[in-house]
Structure 1
Amino acid sequence: MSARPQDLEVRLPDRPGALADLGQALGGRGVSLEGGGVFTHEGQAVAHYLVDDGPTALAAVVAARLGPAVVRDVAMTRLDQETPGQLGALARLLGDAGVNVRVQYSDHAGNLVLLAADEHTALCRDVLERWERG
């Protein structure tokens, strides 16, 4: 198991049942989905799910012969849900620091999950630490 949750990205085949195949492949290996979803853009379905065991999740996808897949590290924080503008304020700090955020979603506990460009993950975590300190 990884020390931190990771993002599993899977480019799903364009056919009925592809999402079911993904869910069954992961569930069959004991991989729990902690947040994320499937998004379609220009006819391409891409799943992004937060998983606690990235290597096992990736192995399950490969064994099921689903689309190309990759596991990446994420950065996570909390936003004050009662304060409008929190996402914009944090995103501005990230952008001003040069962090390219590629994917953003929430986990089941309401944490903000950010997938930055690989070379920006450490910098993203630094910005989030400053954000959390206020």
Structure 2
Amino acid sequence: MKDLEITIENKAGTLALLGETLGKHSISLEGGGVFGNGEHSIAHFLVEEADRAKEVLAQVGITVTKINDVIVQKLQQDVPGQLGTFCRELANAHVNILTQYSDHSNQLIVVVDNYEKAKEISDKWMQVWWS
């Protein structure tokens, strides 16, 4: 899975075009969101085929600004504070979270500034909480 970072115009129909285009090419969105910021919005979507998604979106004038590796982290939903605890582990290792959202399986998705270090922390987290 990869995260697509997309800047789109903040106007009616742009997100519809994005979704329709990916759907027409059988590219499923597995999580993500769109955040308005004036005349433009920043979208982050989780997809299996990031390079193909970038190509088909370009055909309709939507530019993928970046394809990001992601940390997919399962949290124990019934334990309060899991998000804070995991994010603190990253912060203590000087890993900055650039983007955070959930996928359709209620897993935490994070884009970070140091993927390798975050992956180590994520793997250790899984051993402690899920073994």
Structure-2-length-normalised TM-score? 0.92
Letter in structure 2 aligned against 1:46: I
Matching residue of 1:7: 3
Matching residue of 1:55: 51
Structure 1 gap ranges (5+): none
Matching residue of 1:18: 14
Is contact 1:61–1:69 with CA below 8 Å preserved after alignment?
no
Matching residue of 1:106: 102
Structure 2 gap ranges (5+): none
Partners of 2:21 and 2:48 in 1: how far apart? Answer: 15
Letter in structure 2 aligned against 1:97: A
Is contact 1:75–1:114 with CA below 8 Å preserved after alignment?
yes
Letter in structure 2 aligned against 1:122: E
Change (3 A) 1:96 1:70: same
Is contact 2:4–2:64 with CA below 8 Å preserved after alignment?
no
What is the 5 A alignment of 1:43-82? 43-82=39-78
SS in 1 for 2:30: strand
Letter in structure 1 aligned against 2:82: Q
Quote the sequence identity (%): 34
Change (3 A) 1:42 1:88: farther
